[in-house]
Amino acid sequence: MISRIGQVMLYVNNQEEAVEFWSKKLGFTVVADENSHGMRWIEIASAEGAETSLILHNKETVAQMSPVVNLGTPSLMFVTENADKLYKEFTNKNITVGDIIDMPSGKVFNFADNEGNYFAVMEK
């Protein structure tokens, strides 16, 4: 039985730039930086002890090792307690953001990473 999502794999063109974006702009922490069998993966998390983390894989390496893997960016929904505050922080850090939308479940907005991949944030 599956009990939770442990890690989400993001396939990126430049791992160093991706780490820079997620850590410097969003405040994520590098949990691990591993290199084995010609493949490097970097685990990042939003907070120490977070139940879910992101693994940054080099897109080109994964394509060579596993050509059948879908390298598209998954639709990720992050959660915040204050969408307005986070939106302002992202804007001040020159992160590309969409409009804040009031949904029945709460405020939502999207943002783009350094490679133009979009993710969403929902206020809970």
Query: Can you tell me the mean pLDDT for 66-93?
Result: 95
The mean per-residue pLDDT over the stretch 28-45 comes to 95
Contact, 53 vs 28, CB < 8 A? no
- pLDDT category of residue 21 using cuts at 50, 70 and 90: very high
Residue in the structure block whose two tokens are 């993710």: 119
Query: Per DSSP, what are the bridge partners of residue 118?
Result: 112
What is the predicted pLDDT for the residue at 124? 87
DSSP notation for 84-122 = HHHHHHHHHTT--B---EEETTEEEEEEE-TTS-EEEEE
pLDDT at 109 over 90: yes
| Angstrom distances, CA of residue 25 to CA of 10, 104, 108 | 17, 29, 19
List, for residues 72-84, the tens digit of each pLDDT value.
999 999 999 999 9
pLDDT at 92 over 90: yes
Q: Can you read off the two tokens belonging to residue 69?
A: 């893997």
Strand arrangement, sheet containing 106-112: 77-80, 118-123, 106-112, 101-103
pLDDT band at 48 (very low <50, low <70, confident <90, very high): confident
User: What pLDDT is attached to residue 72?
Assistant: 93
pTM beyond 0.85: the answer is yes
Statement: residue 1 has pLDDT above 90: no
Name, in order, each residue with C-beta under 8 angstroms of 99's C-beta and a sequence gap of 6 or more: 109
Binning the chain into helix, strand and coil, the percentages to the nearest 5 are 25, 40, 40
